[in-house]
Amino acid sequence: MLVFAGLGNPGARYARNRHNVGRMALEAIASAHGFGPFRARFSGLTADGTIGRERVILLAPQVYMNESGRSIGEALRFHKLDASALTVLHDELDLAPAKVRVKVGGGNAGHNGLRSITAHVGNDYRRVRLGIGHPGDRTLVHNFVLSDFAKSEMGWIETACRAVADAAPLLVEGHNASFQNKVHLAIAAAGFGEEPSS
């Protein structure tokens, strides 16, 4: 069993914020793979289903970003899972828009959601980093991540979320590099991002 958590702040007010792109990707996975309706559990919303031959729980914490670890920790403890079963989808300031990278462990780069998760479950979980770009000045970051994507950005966002959803079986199988490559090919084919390096 695996847990995929999509980070974001709860409520309609934040739904289209840059900070919520992880949740957008999670919703795309639920739709693409026929997951049942989300229901309230673990201080969040969860949907159960299968991707490939693996049972996967999709979790959207319904606490603010900086408390994400509380919801995720509840889910892992209930299912007697450790951090190696966890994949977190989240926004990444240090990646250009439409770039997607995967890594296991590492620093939190000032991301309050990741900091909370690490505090609750340890650091050895997989992160799917969804690039949103950087406003160019540290003092602008707070307002930038809590502002909505522009209408002109929705094309690459929808493309990236769909590509992540389509390639999710590779994540389930642990093929991180292949997942990343497939996502980049799909994004590039739609005219966004860049071609992956060979």
Both tokens of residue 129?
A: 């980093």
Which of 19, 90, 111, 184 is an active site residue? 19
Answer whether 187's CB lies under 8 Å from 160's CB.
Answer: yes
**What is the DSSP secondary-structure string of 45-70?**
EEEEEEETTEEEEEEEE-S-GGGHHH
The side-by-side arrangement of strands in the sheet containing 100-104 is 39-41, 44-51, 54-61, 2-6, 86-92, 126-131, 100-104
Answer whether 65's CB lies under 8 Å from 8's CB.
Answer: yes
| Residue 19 annotated among the catalytic residues of the structure | yes
**Selection from 9, 43, 24 nearest residue 164 by Cα:** 24
Q: Rounded to an integer, what distance in angstroms lies between the CA atom of residue 91 and that of residue 8? A: 9
Answer whether 149's CB lies under 8 Å from 173's CB.
Answer: no
Instruction: Return the exposure string of 111-126: e unless at least 16 CB atoms fall within 10 Å of the residue's CB, then b.
Output: bbbbbbbbebbeeebb
Report the catalytic residues. Answer: 19
